[in-house]
Amino acid sequence: MNHYPHPLIAREGWPFLGIAVLAAVTATVFLGGWSWPFWVVALFVLQFFRDPPRTIPQQANAVLSPADGRIVVVEKAEDPYANREALKISVFMNVFNVHSNRSPVDGSIEKVDYFPGKFVNADLDKASIENERNAVVVTTDSGTVVTFVQVAGLIARRILCYVGKGDRLARGQRYGFIRFGSRVDVYLPLTARPKVAVGDKVSATETILAEL
């Protein structure tokens, strides 16, 4: 498993933040007061790549949100990655949400599948099957299968996943990142009890999506 340190600013953002700050400083030197748009961009980059610590609920049967954002789907659907009917819960992330993705459960990874695709608005249902995406299928310690899928969006052009088949995940563990707006789909057994509804705002790790 590929572990790496997570300061308050995700490592994925360091190059972008460095470029933005350098551009802002240079603009200040040459443009003076007219450099403020460059500083606005630098502040946007800073907030986008923030990666704050989170408190992990200890409820044994809880499925945690893998991302910050807004619930856009809670419905019965086909899980194409585990070949089953499932309860699907989708979290949409806009550009102002934290984009570090975290494991919703404890368990062992059965497979990781990457699919190239389109970049339609991640708020649309068809994004789940048409957009670039990366699926992680996990078996929990109790034998329950949970699938979570990083889905690229209209602006998001890079899905990063740091785990692979056979790796062990702990709930709340950071396992990936999606740059600039996207969604994460979670597929659960039909017996799972959803604890969120469409329109709810959720926080990665701290919000319980469902109970198994």
The span from the CA of 212 to the CA of 194, in Å, is 9
Burial readout 1-23 (b: 16 or more C-beta within 10 A, e: otherwise): eeeeeeeebbebbeebbeebbee
pLDDT score for 2: 42
pTM for the model = 0.85
Q: How many Cβ atoms are within 10 Å of 95's Cβ, its own excluded?
A: 15
C-alpha dist (Å) from residue 137 to 49, 52, 147, 168: 26, 26, 4, 11
> For 5-43, how does the pLDDT look when each residue is reduced to its tens digit (9 = 90+)?
556 877 777 888 899 999 999 999 988 889 999 999 999
The CA-based diameter of the chain, rounded to the nearest angstrom, is 62
Residues 43 and 35: beta-carbon distance below 8 Å: no
> Hey, what CATH topology would domain 62-211 get?
Glucose Permease (Domain IIA) (2.70.70)
What are the domain boundaries of the chain?
11-48, 62-211
The mean-pLDDT minimum among 81-90, 134-143, 149-158 falls in 149-158
The set of catalytic residues is 182
Phi, psi for 12 (deg, rounded to 5): -60, -20
The mean-pLDDT minimum among 72-86, 115-129, 145-159 falls in 115-129
Which residues are CB-neighbours of 32 under 8 A, at least 6 positions away? Answer: none
pLDDT score for 96: 85
The mean-pLDDT minimum among 49-58, 96-105, 124-133, 141-150 falls in 124-133
